[in-house]
Structures are given as C-alpha cells and as structure tokens.
Amino acid sequence: MAYINVEMGQLKIGKNEDILTAYGIGSCVVVICYDRFNPIAGMLHGILPEKPAKKNNENRYINSGIENLIKILLANGVSIKNIDAKIFGGASMFDIRASGNTIGERNINMAKEILKKKQIKIIGEDTGSNYGRNIEFSVLTKIAFVKSFAKGIKQI
Amino acid sequence: MQNEKLSDSQRDALKELSNIGAGSAATALSQLLGKDIKLNVPEVTIIPIEKVNEKIAKHQQIIAAVYLRIYGEIQARALLILPQDKIFYIIDLLTKKKLGTTKEFGEIEQSAIKEIGNIIISSYLNALAKFIGLNSVPSVPALAVDMADAIIQTISAELAEVGPDAFLIENEMTEEENDLSTTLLILPEMASMKKILKALNDTIKGS
C-alpha cells in the first residue's frame, strides 16, 4: 500500500491498496479515472485547460492529460467502457473576473467536455467555488476524501 | 532571469527601492495601527514564477492573501501574504478594540485586511514611482484565506500574459513581540519587467 502523490502537471497510476493524493489544489483540476470493477485508477493533476501546439508537457493541460490518462489505463488492461471518473478542484480563489472566465472554471469545463467526448461518466465531483482542496483517493474503495479549510472533510 | 543575472547596478537599485518601500509601509502601518512597527531590511529577489511556491514554502499552512492588479506605467499583479494567526490581532489594533475582541472573520474584518494589504502594496508602488519614476495605481483588492499552495498555484496559473519572473519581497516586521512579517509578490507583465529593470539600471547609473 502506498500513498502516491501527484504534483501539478503529473499523472500517476495506482493499484490495489494504493492511495492517490493531490494537495493544495486551487484552480487546478484533478481528474481521476478508475476501473469500475478492478482496483486500478489514474490521477491527473492538470493546471491549464488546453495544450498549446508548441508545448510538450502534456500532463500540465487538461485536454491532453486526460487523453494520456485514458491511454495508460487501456495499456494496463482496463476496458474503456468500464472507466468512470471523478473530478475535483477548479476553484476561483479570488473573485477578480466575471464568472465563466477564470482558469478554474475553464479547467472544469474542459475536463467535462473531454470526458463526455470519451463517454466516460462523471460519478462524483467537488469543483468550483472559492476554496482550496486536498484530495486522497482510495483505489480500492474508489472513494475520495476531499479536505478543505473552508468545508472540512467530504467523502465523494 | 534570476538574481545572478542582475547587474550590480540593478541589484543595488532593487535593494534601495525595497528599503524605501518597506520603510514607508512600516510608517503607514505604525500610523494605522497606532503602534511602533519595527522593520528589518527586506530581502528581495527575482525568481521564476514556478519557483515561488517552493521559495515561500508555506504549503499546507493557512495564509491570508490580498491580491490586486497594478495599472499605469507598470502592468502587474501583486499578492501580499499576511500571517493568518495575526489577522485578528491586526484588526483589533486597526479598529482600536480591546485585544482579543475580534473573533470572527466577517465582512468588516475582511475589508480591514484588504485595506491593510492595499496600503502596504501602495507603499511599494509609491516607492517605485519616487525612485525609478514609474507611476502606477492599484485596483480594488481581493482577499483569500486558505492553504498557501492553493492560493499561490492559482495566481501562477492565471498569469498567461505575465512574464516568467516575479519580485519576492520578504518583510520582517515586528510589533513588540508580535511577528507581523509579510511576503509581497509582484508579478509584472513582460514589458513592464523590462521597463523596471531598465529603470533600475538607469537610476543608479544616473546618481
């Protein structure tokens, strides 16, 4: 059993009793894709919504990051029709722009758009609002513990 | 561009500039809070934005951060980090209440902290104007109280149009035994950073 921490711009896979974690999430969006039946899951800690043509670090970006996440799960023997998702984050810590335009909101929208395109159902989410989050996801139980200063602990 | 890539002139000018800013911030705070605020020489560095979080290293600590935009001859963002455990104390001083009165962080208390942030940041902007002749004004401030990682990450991500480097100014301020140290981040847009660096160069050379 290992705690596997996923930093900004990273993508990691966990199996069996692993716990996938991401801390201090503000506008970043954490996308978790997991096998509905088997203890295997991947966590993407994405920073920006869309990968610019010239950039290479794909896991920084929600769109290319989710593509990678799915690719890796398939390579690990997971069937696409067995993949479910949970998404977290995308907060707007400071209300300095009109709604719909903050990085957090754009990250959430991109995540939902890509997952919808891949026909992956979002089973749970704790997104938006204005508070930071810490995520700990149990690959075995498929439950995410979402901790925040503002809201305490939620199980999603 | 890192500190090492600054010329000696620029480095000296930057030091002097932050001294002036810090001095006037301490004076303003002393007047506001009615207390004698002591100040150490501030430490100022230029670092890449992606290194900011590591340098500040408060991670899971809860911080109070005032955020505003800077307009004028300098286009930038500013983030002032205040010690969260001192917030109520500062508000008591500011509002001349008996120490220990403020216990909740409601709208009035939030306004008070935003104002303090505004004043400190403005002190630095005034120093910039006086010292290197670049005028600017701050926007209305916004406030967040949350994990340092989450706040700093969000600011860094928002900064598509801002340049890759930031000024990090660490102010050690004390009032009696209370540590009121603040950390100020100034994130200039690329063109503004060039302006500032050139002006720093010109200022020392011209004197």
ipTM attached to this prediction:
0.91
The pLDDT value recorded for residue B130 is: 87
Q: Is the confidence at residue B138, as pLDDT, over 80? A: yes
Distances (CA, A) of B67 to A96, B143, B159: 9, 6, 13
Average pLDDT over residues B103-122: 89
Question: Among partner residues A27, A130, A149, which is closest to B157 by beta-carbon distance?
Answer: A27
Answer for the pair B83, B180: CB distance below 8 angstroms, yes or no: yes
Q: Is the confidence at residue B10, as pLDDT, over 90? A: no
Q: Percent of chain B having pLDDT more than 70?
A: 94
User: Which residues in B lie closer than 8 A to residue A48 (C-beta atoms)?
Assistant: 157
Listed residue (A115, A112, A113, A153) closest to A135, CA to CA: A153
Model pTM? 0.89
Interface of A with B (CB under 8 A): 8, 23-28, 47-48, 91-96, 102-104, 130-134, 148-150
Mean pLDDT (10-residue bins), chain A, 156 residues = 94 98 97 98 96 88 97 97 98 73 93 98 96 98 96 95
Average pLDDT over residues B28-44: 86
The pLDDT value recorded for residue B132 is: 85
Assign B206 a pLDDT band (cuts: 50, 70, 90). Answer: low
Answer for the pair A28, B153: CB distance below 8 angstroms, yes or no: yes
User: Which residues in B lie closer than 8 A to residue A149 (C-beta atoms)?
Assistant: 62, 145-147
Q: Which residues contact B41 (CB under 8 A, 6 or more apart)?
A: B19, B22
Inter-chain contact B150–A132, Cβ cutoff 8 Å? yes
Inter-chain contact A149–B147, Cβ cutoff 8 Å? yes
Inter-chain contact B146–A28, Cβ cutoff 8 Å? no
Q: What is the mean pLDDT of chain B?
A: 86
Distance of residue B41 Cα from the nearest chain A Cα, in angstroms: 30
Average pLDDT over residues B6-27: 87
Q: Which residue of B has its CA nearest to A101?
A: B158
**Domains observed in chain A:** 3-155 (3.30.1330.200)
